[in-house]
Amino acid sequence: MNEFLNIKAKKSLGQNFLKSKKALSAMVEAGEVGEKDIVLEAGPGKGALTEELLKKADKVIAVEKDDVLMEFLRQKFSADIASGKLELIHGDILDFNPTTHNLKPKTYKLLANIPYYITGQFLRKFLSGENQPSKMVILLQKEVVKRIVANDGKESILSISVKAYGKPKNIGKVSKENFSPKPKIDSAILLIDDISRVFFKDDGEEKKFFELVKAGFAHKRKLLARNMGHLAKNREDLEKIFETCAIPPKARAEDIKLEQWKRITKETLCQL
């Protein structure tokens, strides 16, 4: 494998290879990966996380977009591929169809060190899709993880969208020094546990919920009532909904918690 010794990360693919054994172990531990688990890994890169997963899981399905890294991984893990313990797929994780690989809802775990620029699409695909994983462990920008967990009490479209499908937890910071090449900012490990669709009664409620959330956050500095005014027949109807949901007249979208958004959705569907 000498021809692969000088593999360099491709900026166009947003590659930053994690090299910290401590961080890799923390990801596997957060995912509670065990001998009966099927794990989907997005962007295995040089296979550092793949190695750790193969020690614990029953089977690993790794999806890699990079042509050169695919050949490297094929050689590095030839024995695991031959035994069926590792299934290596050449493709874009955003195009991956769990059904094609017999991954039914909540029958697999998803671990990944993804390019930061696909974060929104990645979360949307696997959280709101029909074949959700049981849990996800992903490396993201530290500030993005903080925004999702929202320990400061200030919610966002991103935090509400994640919490509607699972329970996010900040596992801990991973310094930029632990990557090659070194990114400009630190990362953090995000665990999303208990992933399901039980929060929504049906597709109609889910659609209306996100319509209202997007409207509420449309202009961050405006009051929630101003942002959502166009969704009501008149001001009195909106005031009645806010009163029923115990939302102060001067509240902003960032002040509204998940269950309040659900209640707004329910009242809106009933009254508007």
Domain boundaries, the chain: 2-193, 203-271
State yes or no: pLDDT of 183 exceeds 50. Answer: yes
pLDDT per position as a tens digit, 246-264: 999 899 999 999 999 999 9
pLDDT per position as a tens digit, 46-77: 999 999 999 999 999 999 999 889 999 999 99
Name the class of domain 2-193.
Answer: alpha beta
Architecture in CATH of 203-271: Orthogonal Bundle (1.10)
State yes or no: pLDDT of 7 exceeds 60. Answer: no
Instruction: Give start and end residues of each alpha helix (H) in 57-186.
Output: 67-76, 78-83, 119-128, 142-149, 157-163
Give which of 164, 128, 157 is closest to 258, Cα–Cα.
Answer: 164
How much is the pTM? Answer: 0.91
Task: Tell me which residue has tokens 């695909």.
Answer: 125
Instruction: Tell me the mean pLDDT in the region 140-163.
Output: 95
Task: Tell me which residue has tokens 């195009």.
Answer: 95
Q: Which residues fall within 8 angstroms of residue 240, CB to CB, at 6 or more apart?
A: 271
pLDDT given for residue 2 in this prediction: 44
Interatomic CA distance for residues 91 and 101, integer angstroms: 13
Q: How confident is the model at residue 234 (pLDDT cuts 50, 70, 90)?
A: confident
pLDDT exceeding 70 applies to what percent of the chain? 93
Instruction: Tell me the mean pLDDT in the region 212-238.
Output: 86
pLDDT per position as a tens digit, 10-39: 554 455 778 899 999 999 999 999 999 999
Residue count (the chain): 272
Average pLDDT, the chain: 91
pLDDT given for residue 8 in this prediction: 57
82 or 114: which leads in pLDDT: 82
pLDDT given for residue 272 in this prediction: 53
pLDDT given for residue 3 in this prediction: 46
Largest pairwise CA distance in the chain: 72
Q: What are phi and psi of 159, to 5 degrees?
A: -65, -45
Q: How confident is the model at residue 271 (pLDDT cuts 50, 70, 90)?
A: low
